[in-house]
Structure formats: C-alpha cells, structure tokens
Structure 1
Amino acid sequence: MAGIDRRPDSAEALVRALYAEHGRSLLAYATRLTGDRAAAEDVVQETLVRAWKHADDLSTGRGSVRGWLLTVARNLATDRARARAVRPAEVAEVEDFPPVEGDHAETVVNSMVVLSALDQVSAEHRDVLVELYYRGRSVTEAAKELGIPPGTVKSRSFYALRALRAVLGGPGNNPGDGTGAEVTG
C-alpha cells in the first residue's frame, strides 16, 4: 500500500483496495469484538474512513497496514462499548421489563364508537346507561340519583340498550326487520 494517493478521485480506489485486501479479516475481528454483525460492519466502515483520512500514515511504510487497521477497529469497538456502558439501557436491553399484554387500540376504538352511539339515543336513555354501566350503580342507586322509580330505571335500561344496539347496527335490532324490536322509549 506504499504511495497511497488521497486525491478525491483515488479515495474510492483506496477504500476498495483496503477492503479487498483486509475486509474479511477486519470484519471477522470486529465481529468477535462486538458480538454483533451489524455493529461490526459499522466498525469496519469507520475504520476504512479513518484509513482514508490517515492515508499519509499508511504510506510511510512503517508497520503493517493490517496491524494499523486492526488497532483502529479495536479502539472503535472499545469506544462503542464504553459509550454503551455510560448510556441508560435501551428498552430492548432491559430484562425485567414486563411484557405488553396486548394492543389497546381496539379498546379505544370501541370506546369511541360507544360514545358516538350514546350521543344518538335519547337523554333519558343515555342518563340511565351512564348511571348503570359507566358509574356502576345499582338500579336502586341509579333511581335515587336520577329521581325516578326503580321500575322506570329497569324499563329505560331495557329500551336504552335496545336503542343502542340499533344505533350500532346489531343483528335483529333494526326497526322494521320483523322481529318486533322497534326502538321505542
């Protein structure tokens, strides 16, 4: 590699020549150092960039080019390991992180659909459904809160659920489908 030329037109030729001659051993060495093929490829790339930047040092004939490249690769791998040790652990590296149970997107969409459907039923039906299902009150508690008799709460909840099913397009709940399930209040 004596007489390495650093002119812009020869930069690509230099990197190609170094990689052709030393690339395989450099990649194998970097892979052993990092334990990761992708990280090793990054180390080799940076090593070749530094070789291009220090072409004058390589052309003097002192020491072997391969030794210089392997030393640079070792230093880069060491620097990467030190930087990773100082940084907080990434999520993928944390061992005790609890697994995600599932995607909650469907729950969010369902909630949005139900809220939209609640806007389409009468205020009396909506109030009963909110008290019974959203706030978790009993029929007696809902009746007391709404100021109506418990029997009215039961009746309204029956018709409110029927109306809600009709708005959501549930089977057998559409008005005039012959099932006698017309929405009434």
Structure 2
Amino acid sequence: MARALSRGRRSAGDEALIRSLYNEHGRSLLAYATRLTGDRAAAEDVVQETLIRAWRNPDVLVNGKGSVRGWLLTVTRNIVTDRARARDARPKEVAESPAHTAVERDHADAVVDSVVVLEALATLSDDHRDVLIEVYFHGRSVSEAAKVLGVPPGTVKSRSHYALRALRTAFRSDKTALREVMG
C-alpha cells in the first residue's frame, strides 16, 4: 500500500514536471520540430513523443547534468531522424494510375488471343492454314511461301484472301456468341 501511495505521489509530481516542461519549452520544441519536419501536424506529434519520453525518464531532467532544453531538443531531433529513417526503409507506395503503368505487363490478354487464333486456325482447311502460317507466322513473302508450299504465287494470294475472310467470320461469330453469353 505504501508503494501504491508513493507511485501516486510520484505520478502527480511527474505530471507537474511535464506541465512545467511544456509551459517552458513547448513553443521552442514545436518551432524546432516544425523546422525539421516541414509539417506542423507531424511536429506536434514529435513534441508529444518528446514529452512522453521526458515523462518516462524524469530522473534525466532533474539530475543537474546538462541543459534540460538541450536534452529535449536532442530527443526531438532523434525522433524526427528515426521517423525519416523508418519512412525511407520502406519502398515508396505509388498510386495506380494511367501515368504509372505496371513494371511488367500482364500477358493474360496475349495468351487468350493466341488461344483464340489457334482455335480459329483449326477451323480452316489445311491449304488455307498452311498459307497463313507461311506468310504471317514465318514472315515469308508471297513468292517465298509459294516456293515452300509448291504452288503458284497467285494461289498463295487467293488462299490467304479466303483464309483471312474465314478468320474474320469466325472472330465475328465468337464476339456475337460472347455478347450473348455475357448478356
């Protein structure tokens, strides 16, 4: 019981000490913290944290070693430094916006497109599919594709024309079917 009573007296004394510290040094601490942080609200938080540390260590303030204001300003500077280091330790968060695109593009659309194209190619005749593969996938000219396929260049042109027309029709029907499914 004596211990609880002494704690009550001590906390009342500590509270009075902190009040007097705030009255005497609060403005200069706030001005210093504002200068260091550049933000009044953050500076108020720093001053509050400084006074909490003073409340936790009252013996440092009354031991007669050094200046009380010097100790408080040093604690303030250390708190600001610790907060800056903690903030810099994490990577900066960037809001997702059109100005900030993803570092790596999502390849899902390309995968879907290739699956759709392969399915559409499977619906073509072998002759039409072979012409498109030679001309578009292998990048051959009409005459080169004609040599590889063993057909005249005019045949390559007409087969590619009809193959592309069939693909357009297949893609349109896929879009129509997709719209019907999606409602």
Query: TM-score, with normalisation over the residues of structure 2?
Result: 0.49
Q: Which has the larger radius of gyration?
A: 2
Larger helix fraction of residues = 2
